[in-house]
Chains A and B, each alone.
Chain A
Amino acid sequence: MTSRRTNTYIGAAIERFEDLRFLRGRGIYVDDVPHATTLHAAILRSSVAHGLIRVLDATEARRRPGVVAVITAAEIGPVPVIPIRLAAWPSLEPFVQPVIAADRVRFVGEPIAVVVADTAARAEDALEAIALEIEPLPVVADRDASAAGAILLFPGAASNRAITYEGRKGDAAAAFRSADYTRREHFSVQRHTAIHMEPRGIMAEWDRIWGRLTIWGASKVPYPNRKILAGQIGVDPALIDMIENDAGGGFGVRGEFYPEDFLIPFAARHVGRAVKWIEDRREHLIAANHAREVECTLEIACRRDGRILAFRGHARADLGAYVRTNGVMGPRNVAQILSGPYDVANIEMDVELLLTNKTPAGTYRAPGRFEADFFRERLIEMAARDLGIDRIAFRRMNLVPTTAMPYALATINPLESTTHCDSGDFRQTLDRCLAEFDWATKSRLSGADREGRRHGVAVSCYIEGGASGPREDARLILEPDGTLSVHVGSSSVGQGVETIFAQIAADALGVPIERLRSVRHGSTGLVTEGFGAYSSRSTVMGGSAVLDAAAKLEAQIRARAAARFGCAPDAVLLRDGTAIGPDLAAIDYAALAGDGLVADGTFLNERRTHSYGAHAAHVSVDPRTGHVAVHDYVAVEDVGRIINPETLHGQTVGAIVQGLGGALLEHLVYDGEGQLLTGSLADYLMPTASDFPVIRGVALEEHPSPVNPLGAKGAGEGGIIPVGGVIANAVADALAAEGVQPTALPLSPPRVWALVEAARNGRK
């Protein structure tokens, strides 16, 4: 791909096309899709964490006013299971989730029946009329109980362990034997997850004449989900249309194939009408994927001068009751990216995935990376202190040098999965971060007491993987009126891809961006196949496919113009939507379009991008209440190439706020009976707009990625990755006099207070 023109749109802060309709309340979310005759579904969910269904009788519910149908496993027949989409492996198969509980429930929130009625309220009324008796079984409440295996959750499996991933590189045992210094600590990250502003929702309609299913509310991975549904429900995938509507956030949670993604289409076919289900907040908290519950015993081995020789560790992830579509990815990533941006020659990291009677887990923005960075950055901070080495010097010394690119991370077995950092100068972002933060001045506050609050600072480095393969498709259409449409297989979950793809297409074709009439994404039928929005891939993969389609469309335009001008295609000049011949005659693209010109592009890529950066924070701690306040937060990231600085900045700030939620507030707490205690947003504490006002983000594009024609690197997740480690290290810095060493998140006031108390009592 040669860059023939100066870009005018890529890199510019183009206002998002999406914003006008969102800000005017004209977005069309799935619940807004006009449909005059839709029915409404409500789902009966288990209130017992583990048990056998002894009685399930919907006779009375079927008689309730407005009820059209009640669907249980009996109506479905053989109950399909939800296959694993990412990193499937034979040992995982016994643990996949059925779309509805037939005789056994394994978590509070598991679907047991679906009521379809004329209103959502009447559907909920009828839920109460379903006779249900569940004989409780002993509950596997946590990882210890799961590993002990006294209670087996799946009769077909010999243990509650789904798999153990092994991250391997070099010879860790030998490195530990020869090390001057080693330290071992136990860390844990709490169960929490994404709470996107718009809950999940599905509307499905069955066309009995043509045998077609139409499904609104598709998101993230519509094409793979279509394939799954087609297999389960016995309909040709070509007869299923998945429609992507506006979406109020995804963060990895929205759009995976959940039980409802079968149940609602099934219900629509069962009753022969459109059926809609809109998740409520309580359902989201018990039924959508949870994430992040990983604990880790981690060891570091260093030379006396601070050079890291090895990491060795054992982690255990609480996966909840089933292995869902992407449930293994977070723990898997812990094994792979433990070393982050540091040059560590020897790694031995095992991650056990354990099943319990909790809501199943999946990916949440930067899966495994948030957790691993917390473990690693805490331990590095402790090691630097033990060795009497400045913590910045310690990090700088160990960062992967530019000369070592591409740099291999640990290989993950049994998948034999490898990945490389593609390019970059990790010291540059660290230095820039320190300068933006004014480390020289602020670090003088370390441990200072100001009116009873103790101040601390910290800085951490990280890498962010992006651009998951294998492929993405795009289609560019020159419409008869001379405008252009972009269709792409990447999905939108609210991140602004319409604007991004318009910028890329306008620059690639050298036309004013106003010519881009529509950018459509995600829905099946737009392109042959699509791979979706996850793993910071949409811009890189979809954008590169748009480039390919643009080159092909341009060749078609050039050929048509050449025929009109009677010259060679190379003699045609294309500028601003006009073809200019050798004699300076000009023809607008509209006059060349005929009935429309279509070009399909594709981008194949198995090599991931790694953007990277550093974050710094200044916090203060009230040791009497345990309250942590964030006074300044600076993020510097090199993303290879910035397509739109505004949308990128939005990604950065939003991700940091989510990270602060995970570091300080959010926690899905269960009791010993498998009951979720934080079942509403009164108890599950989200960051609010006023909680963390001081966040600064700087994006660089010094080191374009060599693995795609845009040079862009995925940038949707970087903001969240280092937050837990940075905040915990800043708290440790503030309370260094007491020797407080946080090893668990979230740093809630009672936890911080208890750490201070324990340190003081220990000293006495």
Chain B
Amino acid sequence: MKPAPFDYAAPNSIEEAVALLARHDGAARPIAGGQSLMSVLAFRLAAPALLVDLGRIPGLDAITIGADGVTLGARVRWRDIEKDGRLSGAHPLLAAAIAHVAHYQIRNRGTVGGSLAHADPAAEMPGIAVVCGAEITIVGARGERTVAAGEFFTGALATVLDTDELIVAVRLPPWPAGRRWGFEEFARRRGDFALAGIAAFYDTDAAGRARDVRIGVIGATNRPCRLPAAEAALEGRIVDDTAIAAAAAATRASVDPPDDLHAPAAYRRALAATLLERALARARR
């Protein structure tokens, strides 16, 4: 449980950090809160030659709320989101989802950028980024680029990030007043990674029909994703018991979880549909 030897650097700027990562060509790893990486190191599942600590880089810890939505700096911690009173209005889905992340100690250290880069299929932040259509800003040796969250995650613990790239921010599009939403997840114990989770939201037109329906799932697939079939089952319809049942059926049909240690595929499939029903029941209240 002792990490293999590594060097340590704490640069003062993004440019310096990126240069260090580039120079080590895959042998260096960035670290912020360390809530995923430290256990990986302790188990010696990874033995990077250099850790690049992002803790001294200014400007990465801001939560900015504006006309273009909510922008979270990469080093924003779960605790920062929890404590920011503006977010319950500016992005209630984000606030609700982040309330499920881990435990007090972890919430004081774990970061938005770290969670996105680690890309655990059951993590809340990647799921919210995908379902909301967030944009992830990345800086690397070849400059800055912006990637849609839906294209960022490529599999379990896998993303499009190059070894010399850092996430600097994620922007969630604006959240209109009156939007209907629900977030449900189920974990074995409070704070554990979800066996499955569902985020659902939609706007309503003058006739009360659902518009721009978004449904995202975590934990039941190898990466966070939207469920287009379930979205289609609701789009343009009044969200009533029949519509919810149709969306749940579509969820069951389209989610294809793996069997794993904690649950068989059939359970996660049924669970995702149950959570969808509950999220939509919450949304229409």
Contacts and interface: CB of A to CB of B under 8 A. Distances in A.
Contact of A678 (B190, B192, B261, B271): B261
Interface stretch (A117-125, A269-277, A287-295, A318-326): A117-125
- A-B pairs, 10 with minimum CB distance: A280-B1, A121-B2, A750-B267, A624-B274, A750-B263, A124-B2, A677-B261, A625-B186, A685-B188, A120-B2
B188 A749 contact: yes
A133 interface: no
Interface residues of B, number: 23
11 contacts: A120-B2, A281-B1, A282-B43, A625-B274, A677-B261, A678-B261, A683-B261, A685-B192, A688-B189, A691-B190, A753-B267
B1 to A, nearest CB: 4
A403 interface: no
A120 B274 CA distance: 48
A753 B115 CA distance: 30
A443 interface: no
Nearest to A283: B1
Interface string A641-685: 000000000000000000000000100010000000110101101
A735 to B, nearest CB: 16
A117 to B, nearest CB: 11
A703 interface: no
A627 B186 contact: yes
Interface string A123-145: 01100100000000000000000
A331 to B, nearest CB: 27
B195 A749 contact: yes
B218 to A, nearest CB: 16
Contacts of A605: none
B71 to A, nearest CB: 31
A2 interface: no
A121 B188 contact: no
Interface string B31-70: 0000000010001100000000000000000000000000
A458 to B, nearest CB: 22
A441 interface: no
B253 interface: no
A682 B40 CA distance: 12
A282 B2 CA distance: 12
Interface in B240-275: 261-264, 267, 270-271, 274
Which has the most chain B C-beta neighbours within 10 Å: A624, A748, A754? A624
A3 interface: no
Interface of A: 120-121, 124-125, 128, 280-282, 624-627, 665, 669, 677-678, 680, 682-683, 685, 687-688, 690-691, 748-750, 753-754, 757
Which has the most chain A C-beta neighbours within 10 Å: B4, B5, B192, B263? B263
B3 interface: yes
B263 A282 contact: no
Q: Is the interface of A mostly helix, strand, loop or mixed?
A: loop
Contact of B261 (A282, A626, A669, A753): A669
Contacts of B1: 124, 280-282
Contacts of A626: 267
Given A125-B5, A685-B189, A688-B189, 7 more contacts: A121-B2, A280-B1, A624-B270, A677-B261, A682-B193, A688-B190, A749-B263
A280 B189 CA distance: 23
Contacts of A665: 188-189
A666 B270 CA distance: 23
B37 to A, nearest CB: 14
A69 to B, nearest CB: 18
A748 B2 CA distance: 33
Interface string B2-16: 111100000000000
Contacts, number: 59
Contacts of A757: 270
A723 B210 CA distance: 48
A258 B211 CA distance: 65
Nearest to B264: A750
Interface string B163-191: 00000000000000000000000101110
Interface in B8-29: none
A690 B190 contact: yes
Contacts of A624: 270, 274
Contacts of A748: 188
Which has the most chain B C-beta neighbours within 10 Å: A282, A682, A749? A749
Contacts of A683: 261-262
Contacts of A125: 4-5
Contacts of A124: 1-2, 4, 44
Nearest to B192: A685
B267 A121 contact: no
A228 B187 CA distance: 46
A671 B271 CA distance: 25
A725 to B, nearest CB: 22
A636 B262 CA distance: 34
Contacts of B195: 749
Contacts of B4: 124-125, 128
B189 A121 contact: no
B123 to A, nearest CB: 13
Nearest to A753: B267
Contacts of B43: 282, 680
Contacts of B189: 665, 685, 687-688, 691
Which has the most chain A C-beta neighbours within 10 Å: B1, B192, B193, B270? B1
Contacts of B5: 121, 125
A682 B39 CA distance: 10
B34 to A, nearest CB: 15
A703 to B, nearest CB: 39
A121 B3 contact: yes
Contact of A749 (B39, B186, B190, B261): B186
A754 B267 contact: yes
A626 B1 CA distance: 35
Nearest to A688: B189
Contacts of B267: 626, 749-750, 753-754
Contacts of A685: 188-189, 192
A682 B35 CA distance: 13
A750 B262 CA distance: 8
A748 B44 CA distance: 30
Interface string B85-124: 0000000000000000000000000000000000000000
A537 to B, nearest CB: 34
A682 B189 CA distance: 11
A454 to B, nearest CB: 15
A753 B190 contact: no
Which has the most chain A C-beta neighbours within 10 Å: B43, B44, B195, B267? B267
A625 B189 CA distance: 13
Nearest to A282: B1
Contacts of A691: 189-190
Contacts of B188: 665, 685, 748-749
Contacts of B44: 124, 128
A687 B43 CA distance: 23
B277 to A, nearest CB: 8
A678 B262 CA distance: 10
Nearest to A664: B188
Contacts of A678: 261
Interface string B139-169: 0000000000000000000000000000000
Nearest to B191: A688
Nearest to A691: B189
A301 B274 CA distance: 42
A327 to B, nearest CB: 26
A626 B261 CA distance: 16
A625 B271 contact: yes
B269 to A, nearest CB: 11
Nearest to A452: B278
Contacts of A281: 1
A626 B267 CA distance: 10
A609 to B, nearest CB: 36
A124 B3 CA distance: 9
A124 B4 CA distance: 8
B275 to A, nearest CB: 8
